[in-house]
């Protein structure tokens, strides 16, 4: 049976969003020269959150986020989140947890630099973080991991049967 167009489109969106998360992880880990310069990589001992949290925050919560800049536990959680959310979306496994965790992560990033308060923003109300948030939340309610991913096999595992949130 041929896959429906909407399944192909949603699988493509899932994989593309996964690549966005995982690429951010790789770029910050190795300093690939895109968003992170080679001499600013996490492997060289630099904080992957410091620059953004210290200098790019804007809005009423900026002082809260600035106080988190460079904290090791924040760096570890952020990097683990990028890697695990990205891999889950790419592979189609653990979509519910990845969707909720990803939505929380992008919401926090939005709140750290609310576009209305950021002069370099392209849109003062809605940016890509809000779009990602809604897509990720929608993924939690669909079987997007079953289409061009390992979700169907994953959902039959004993772990997922015991803990359905793992699907």
pLDDT tens per residue across span 99-157: 999 999 999 999 999 999 887 788 888 899 999 999 999 999 999 999 999 999 999 99
Q: How far is CA 155 from CA 71, 92, 147, 150, 162, in A?
A: 36, 10, 13, 9, 10
Please state the domain count of the chain. Answer: 1
Quote the CA–CA distance of 61 and 4 in Å, as a whole number: 43
Residue 5 has pLDDT above 90, yes or no: yes
- State residue 113 phi and psi, 5-degree precision: -140, 70
Contacts from 64-70 at CB under 8 Å and sequence distance 24+?
65/111, 65/112
Q: How far is CA 135 from the centre of its chain?
A: 11
Domain extent, residue 14, equals 5-166
Residue 1 has pLDDT above 90, yes or no: no
Q: Which band of pLDDT confidence, cut at 50, 70 and 90, is reported for residue 51?
A: very high
Q: How far is CA 45 from CA 1, 18, 21, 50, in A?
A: 51, 25, 21, 12
């Amino acid at each position: 049976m041929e896959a429906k167009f909407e399944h192909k489109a949603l699988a493509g969106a899932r994989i593309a969003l996964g690549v966005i998360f995982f690429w951010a992880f790789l770029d910050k880990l190795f300093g690939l020269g895109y968003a992170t310069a080679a001499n600013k990589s996490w492997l060289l001992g630099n904080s992957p959150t410091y620059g953004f949290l210290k200098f790019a925050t804007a809005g009423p919560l900026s002082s809260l986020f600035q106080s988190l800049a460079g904290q090791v536990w924040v760096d570890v959680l952020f990097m683990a989140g990028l890697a695990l959310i990205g891999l889950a979306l790419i592979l189609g496994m653990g979509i519910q947890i990845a969707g909720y965790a990803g939505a929380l992560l992008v919401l926090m990033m939005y709140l750290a630099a609310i576009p209305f308060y950021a002069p370099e923003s392209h849109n003062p109300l809605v940016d890509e973080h809000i779009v990602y948030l809604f897509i990720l939340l929608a993924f939690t309610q669909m079987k997007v991991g079953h289409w061009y991913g390992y979700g169907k096999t994953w959902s039959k595992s004993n772990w997922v049967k015991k803990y359905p949130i793992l699907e």
